[in-house]
Amino acid sequence: MTDRLADEPARGPDHGPDRAHAVPAGAVPGGMAVEGGTPAPPRSQWWDVWDQFKTHKGAMAGAFVFLVILLGVILGPWLWSIDPQAIDIRARNSGPTLAHPFGTDQLGRDTLARMIAGGQTSMAVGITAMLLSLVVGTAVGVLAGYFRRLDGILMRLTDLFLALPLLPLLLVIILLFRDRLRAVFGPETGIFLLIVFVIGITSWMQTARIVRGDVLAIKEREFVLAAKSIGTPAHRMIFRHILPNVLSPIMVSATLGIATAIITESALSFLGLGFPSDYPTWGRLLYDATDYLQQYPERVIWPGIAISLTVLSVNYIGDGLRDALDPRIRGR
């Protein structure tokens, strides 16, 4: 036996420099500046991610639409200078005209101006609430999955939040804190913070559960043990090895979260728990327009399209990001 092994001809590297192309060129996008066998300079992972993201047509379209909507609601007030609150009773219930491209509502307020103003609020609420619920959900999920001691407590807390009846809870929170927050931050910022907080705090549970499950699985993989044998401490273990590998479910909950947040905000406004009734948001416009659905259906369509396009574009961006962040899919 011993002799047979010692005589093995293939003693030494199985892939010398002369076989640099054993792995098909192009397996890593942009990583092919190595033709001559000279080592490529260390390249940031984010360039690979961007290269892959660019090849995802849906994601690029989604990013484009999302940027247009975002720029539209941010820069819109400078381009379209009609005050969204201005009442022009003689022009009420007008259809799309040159003066009012999206028409006017029953009080003669310009729908385009209200869409722009409402978009600012809805997008801000959607993104902030999504980020909040994402951070809370991921933190709870990772801590529960990684540290066995916290698992019981945190998951029972998650169950508790899932079991809470949402509407009475919202009523109580808003009754208790609305006036105080208004006094401190002013009526609009106060209610904005309150709504973001309420939506964030009631929508993190799904993310937490999914992330916990994935962390439990990843924690048992051998590369985590390998990192432990190197002496990587727990926090860097989580950020370097665990989180990048649970990115996919987090991405999916994030993109779905924006949609849920925008819709929950409109439901709250409809119930009179959200922003004041004269303060436009996309959800508010939608609910106001339902009364006139038969006479003026276009009033429902505008905010409906805006919400759907935002949600859809964010979903596509999330899809592309998820693919781009996974090196195994990259380059296909």
Residues that bind other proteins (CB under 8 A): 1-2, 5-6, 8, 10-17, 19-20, 22-23, 27-28, 31, 34, 37-40, 42-43, 45, 221-223, 225-233, 236, 240-241, 244-245, 325-328
The two counts, helices (H) then strands (E), for the chain are 13, 0
Residue 200 and residue 206 in contact, taking contact as beta carbons nearer than 8 Å:
no
Which neighbouring-strand residues pair with 104?
Answer: 110
Angstrom distances, CA of residue 19 to CA of 13, 38, 98? 10, 13, 68
CB of 22 or CB of 79, closer to other proteins: 22
Cβ closest to other proteins, residue 12 vs residue 165:
12
Q: What does R_g of the chain's alpha carbons equal in angstroms? A: 26
Please count the other Cβ atoms lying within 10 Å of the Cβ belonging to residue 34.
14
Query: Smallest distance, Å, CB 227 to other proteins?
Result: 7
Q: Which of 324, 248, 306, 256 shows the shortest CA–CA distance to 58?
A: 324
Pick the closer one to other proteins by CB: 186 or 244. 244
Tell me the closest approach of the beta carbon of residue 47 to other proteins, in angstroms.
10
Nearer to other proteins, 58 or 331 (CB): 331
Q: Which is nearer to other proteins, 2 or 295 (CB)?
A: 2
* Between 14 and 294, CB nearer to other proteins: 14
The CB-of-51 to other proteins minimum distance in angstroms stands at 12
Residue 325 has a CB neighbour count (10 Å cut-off) of 19
φ, ψ dihedrals at 321, nearest 5°: -65, -40
Rounded to a whole number of angstroms, the minimum distance from the CB of residue 22 to other proteins is 8
Helix 205-219 and helix 111-146: axis angle, to 10°? Answer: 40
Instruction: Give least dist CB 161 to other proteins, A.
Output: 24
Q: How far is the CB of 205 from other proteins (least distance, A)?
A: 24
